[in-house]
Chain A
């Protein structure tokens, strides 16, 4: 599903040149659950942003399915991103001014082919699936951290993406809520969604099929935990 070939990301300012990713070669298969680990500042977030098409690499190739997206325009990337990728963040990133339902709906708003009634139906179904539909009219501030993250996951999956990118999804949660989120991600993966998750937690990395370790922007090991 994802193939990275000699991927490099260099940040350049007037005086300093920082290499965030160097010569990354990686393949993620369809339906795989990959955890990315590494110390702070090793380039995990940069890695996830490039895979998530929020940022572009400075060198190498990024194949998404059978398309080399390295030279795609912002609007083409936006189109691809909205149909294929769902995001989950550590700090949930729910919009304070919108209620739960509306927050989830945001992920469908920019799909011109989905009608308003279809959008509402899908939001309802997804909230049901995430067991949060009783909070549909609540504002984000009125929810606990675990509930907020479940809403964020609902938002990530409502457009039925093939790939979910999770950036330390349990980082702001206590252990019980963290486990719950991991269960949800595992369930999604079981139903065929590819998951790439950045995490600091070894126990949560255990849920993945494979753990990729980054250090100073380079990929150092790939542990196959479980056979597909």
Chain B
């Protein structure tokens, strides 16, 4: 059962971006949203999603809150903090420049 983490290094960016658009999501909803918005191409594993959430919570980028659901079960929902917003901008521009650079390299090499 070799699971390749297709999101290596970019999970933080996706979670932050998602939370900036749709605040107060719980863990499952985040996972589901990544899957649907990426057209089922990207998949966040539970084993990496929660550690990433906790890490970002400790870093102060997101904050969590328990909410009572209709089913009587409690769910922990996450939202972006001001520091998270800044981090998102930084990660996003970094991603843009890196992916642009990679595209350029690919282009140059395919033309050659």
Decide whether A and B assemble into one complex.
no
